[in-house]
Structure 1
Amino acid sequence: MSDCLHCDIHDLMESHLQNEETNLAEIAAKVTEVLADLILLAPPDDRGTLIADVLVNLGEFVLQKAENGTGEPNPRRH
């Protein structure tokens, strides 16, 4: 494990993403399930705000990564 949770997550998913039969919807569903577990760790009164933050961050990251000009995600490693 490194000091970067983002990079560690990508390292864990790499073998799944390299497979030619990769089901991106299935991987996204699993990642979403992890987010749900994380949200449920928050106090009930804070969960709505945390869900909103997740959605805002998702939209922002997709826009930022799409702007690199190639239509491909930016490099995963920092």
Structure 2
Amino acid sequence: MSVFEFSGRWKEELVCTGPGGSFVLELPMGILTAYLPTEDAFKRTAPTWAEDLWPQLRDELEQWCVANKAQLVIDPTAGVY
């Protein structure tokens, strides 16, 4: 069972909705790519309810990227909004 739902939004954003609310990751459209912070960086910038869900988020985002022919980049400088 999935914890997260993903929805692309204008201005190159990927809305991630989970059990405690939602947040946005970067999703540039030139070459469709989702940017996810490293686990440590995510814990510093993510909403409190999502801090410990990074492994699940990574796995589900990886599946979403495959299904949507997108690349996944894990980068410590990636933003969470």
TM-score under structure 1 length normalisation: 0.32
- Greater helix proportion: 1
Q: Which has the higher strand share?
A: 2
RCO comparison, higher one (Cα < 8 Å, 6+) = 2
